[in-house]
Structure 1
Amino acid sequence: MIAGHWEVVVVGGRIAGASTAWALAPYAERILVLDASRPTAFWPQQSTWDRAGNLAWAELGLLETVLACGAPRTYGDTQRIGDDVVERVYPREDEHSYRMSLPREVLDPALLAAAQSRGNVTVCRPARVRAITIDGGRVRGATVRHDAIDSRLTCDLLVLADGRLSRNAQRVGASAYRVVESPWFALLAYYENLPLPTDRSYFSLQDRSVLISTPCGDMRWCVALDLHQSLIDETGRHPGRAYERMVRDDPHLRPAVAAGRRSTPIGGAGRLRMLRRPMSGPGWCLVGDAGYHLDPVTAQGTRAALVTARILRDRVADAGRAAGADLTGLTGERDAALDADWAYTERIVRG
């Protein structure tokens, strides 16, 4: 039964939600994570980060969980810009100086399992918030649909980690105060048994497109394409067909994919919006894409999600308990911490 009182209720069980539940567990007696997806869900997404992301995982105490997912560490890449090819090696500053990529259907369950291992974190899925209870201007709880039954619960803190399209953010009054429309369409698929290095990635930067190949598991690669909407409009070609053609015509990837096999359908999304919403209000807080969504073209979103989870954890840790923690001023703290990532991504998006 999920009805009753919980110190913290987290809506969303992916990177931001699972990491937040893990991070807040020492400061709450009972935490409930509500996730709308089923345990067998497949998401055509990957998570990619570099040294800054590794440090963010380490700050939350989740780096070992991530490393146990088995993705190779990459220490350099091959870049093709037009017809020119450049081999790069990443600077070795410390033991965190590498990049990693993981399929979300591998990473997200691992993070959720880590949160549950705390002992005071309960996961309920599939579950959807149908209404949020607000009394005296403060969030007090929610009505949740699970197993075709609506349950009412109360909480001291409601954490929304339910993505950029969060309806619950609107329900608590967290409207976007900064929005940037993106002209990029992101696509990807996973491949197996490619005859490619496992410690290097590949980037092909061409006219209004970026084709990327990254090792992301045991003999598994993610091949992703960022495609500018203007190129789609000019050619009239379906983005999926454009993906197939560009992979097939690429001199580096063509022989590799011919020797291996594609193991998933091509997935993707376009016409995304970068956005900023307030991070907190009376009885609620937004983490991850729900409050701060960066276009995936620069692969900064994972670190942004972890930074927001860490900022909330630190504020709760200062109070000693999740109940009664003062969450004022979190929006400015978050925006200052992520301003460089936002500026870099917006510059790429606006082109």
Structure 2
Amino acid sequence: MENTTSHWDVVVVGGGPAGACTAGLLAKKGRRVLVLEKEVFPRYHIGESMITGMISVTDELGVTDRIEAEGFEHKPGLSLVWGSEHALWDIKFKEAGPYAHSYHVDRDRFDEILLDRAAELGATVRQGAPVKEPLVEDGRVCGVRYQHDGRTHEARATTVVDASGQGRVVSRHFSDITWHPDLKNLAVWSYFTGTGRLPGDQHGNILVERVKDRTGWFWGIPLGADRMSVGFVAPVEDVRVERGDLEGFFDARLKETEHLRDLLDGSRCVEEYRTARDWSYMAHDYWGPGWVSVGDASCFVDPLLSSGVCLGMLCAVPLADGLDLALDAPEKESRVLDQYADGCRTFHQGITDYVMFFYEQERDKEDYFERAHSIANNPLFTSPRAGFVGLVSGIAGMKSVFGMYGEEAAAAR
């Protein structure tokens, strides 16, 4: 039974980082925004290691101090066992860009901070509110039908933002996706206590270690004094063979590492092993009449560089700017959303292309630096190493997505 119909400037489907940031930025501009999130926060979500590009967005939303106060582990950079030398090397975020560190976070709490802030800024947030279908009139999406408190509701809006992640609750009705044929991976992970740390100033770094003579790599993310998230990523066919014994499969691969194995010596696994499909894809269309996608609803990039959350948060900025302009001047909608889609697609494609290059694991690290420098293509990065740091920190993408609409958007912000 239909219960209520409400009217909004924008309905955002999904309360994760991309959706919460889009909603918060639009509400900050005075727009009437409804966020529909199917889960009730806090809820579990993998993805604990952040890069510094996202801090520009948390600064704009006014939550960086809250994230700091939460006590999340500081992440000053990356430590890698990657490339032809098979040796440990590292980079620091402060080598390129304004931020000395990012954070390793528990996503349940991190996401809750962002969604709470969207509500504080004026967005209406409804949790436990799964969207069932888009509403379409005369070829244009005009809202969604959703469930909440045991009833069915309609929310109508000028624009619906699909921030529902890989489920693509709205956009899958209007756009197909293209899977990347060489990035069909699965991740297996769990959590360990009693773990060690990397030495010296690498103490808070994420560790990314390839498995020698195999396709696959591990992450090790420090989440506290002696707690670590540890995961293994490999082609889907390699993991599926061992699905009946994930722990045995995980342990066998772990023995083939050097540094991570030492960090876990004497540790204890404290949660069940989980798996997730990390198949990279890109949507054919990022927007259509009455709808637009952001975050994983637009594109999913292999987790090798921990870029996913940052990409979604950075793209929320031009999306909010563009929708704000289009709400005042509907005749500008096609232009600004084309600019949004082209800019974010270029950003996504650059990261995906680089991940593919980086997966060529027997290159010299100078090759990785040179390719990153060419993709970043920014005179601020004065050396190939700085270009690499700028790219893997997300800083290289900030200029391309911020100011996408020039002086118009700057005046409106």
In 1: Cα distance, 2:271 partner to 2:360 partner? 31
243 and 256 in structure 1: CA distance in 2 versus 1, 3 angstrom threshold: same
1:205 aligned to 2:220? Answer: no
1:160 is aligned to: 162
2:136 is aligned to: 134
2:387 is aligned to: none
Greater displacement, 25-34 / 302-311: 25-34
Alignment length (residue pairs): 347
Correspondence list, 1:1-351, <5 A: 3-43=5-45, 45-58=46-59, 61-81=62-82, 84-90=86-92, 92-118=95-121, 120-171=122-173, 173-176=174-177, 178-181=178-181, 182-197=183-198, 198-206=203-211, 207-217=214-224, 219-232=226-239, 238-247=245-254, 250-254=257-261, 256-270=263-277, 272-318=279-325, 326=333, 327-329=336-338, 330-347=340-357
Q: Supply the RMSD in Å over aligned alpha carbons.
A: 3.1
Alpha-carbon contact 1:77-1:200 (below 8 Å) kept: yes
In 2: Cα distance, 1:150 partner to 1:86 partner? 55
Residue 338 of structure 1 and its aligned partner are, at CA, apart by: 3.1
**Higher-strand-fraction structure:** 1
AA at the equivalent of 2:207? Y
Residue 263 of structure 1 and its aligned partner are, at CA, apart by: 3.4
Q: What SS is found at the alignment partner of 1:194? A: coil
Q: Taking structure 2 as the reference length, what is the TM-score of the superposition?
A: 0.74
In 2: Cα distance, 1:170 partner to 1:94 partner? 36
In 2: Cα distance, 1:73 partner to 1:185 partner? 27
AA at the equivalent of 2:151? I
Alpha-carbon contact 1:288-1:305 (below 8 Å) kept: yes
In 1: Cα distance, 2:289 partner to 2:243 partner? 48
64 and 284 in structure 1: CA distance in 2 versus 1, 3 angstrom threshold: farther
AA at the equivalent of 1:139? V
Residue 251 of structure 1 and its aligned partner are, at CA, apart by: 4.1
In 2: Cα distance, 1:298 partner to 1:2 partner? 44
Residue 16 of structure 1 and its aligned partner are, at CA, apart by: 1.0
AA at the equivalent of 1:328? L
AA at the equivalent of 1:312? L
Deviations 1:34-73 (A, max 9, x none): 1111224323x11433333434544555543443443222
Deviations 1:285-315 (A, max 9, x none): 1111111221223322122211221121221
Residue 192 of structure 1 and its aligned partner are, at CA, apart by: 3.4
Could you list the runs of 5+ residues in structure 1 that have no partner in the other structure?
Answer: none
Greater displacement, 213-222 / 21-30: 213-222
Alpha-carbon contact 2:242-2:249 (below 8 Å) kept: no
Alpha-carbon contact 1:17-1:287 (below 8 Å) kept: yes
In 1: Cα distance, 2:224 partner to 2:16 partner? 19
Identity %: 20
84 and 141 in structure 1: CA distance in 2 versus 1, 3 angstrom threshold: closer
AA at the equivalent of 2:153? S
AA at the equivalent of 2:343? E
Residue 117 of structure 1 and its aligned partner are, at CA, apart by: 1.4
Alpha-carbon contact 1:102-1:217 (below 8 Å) kept: no
**Higher-helix-fraction structure:** 2
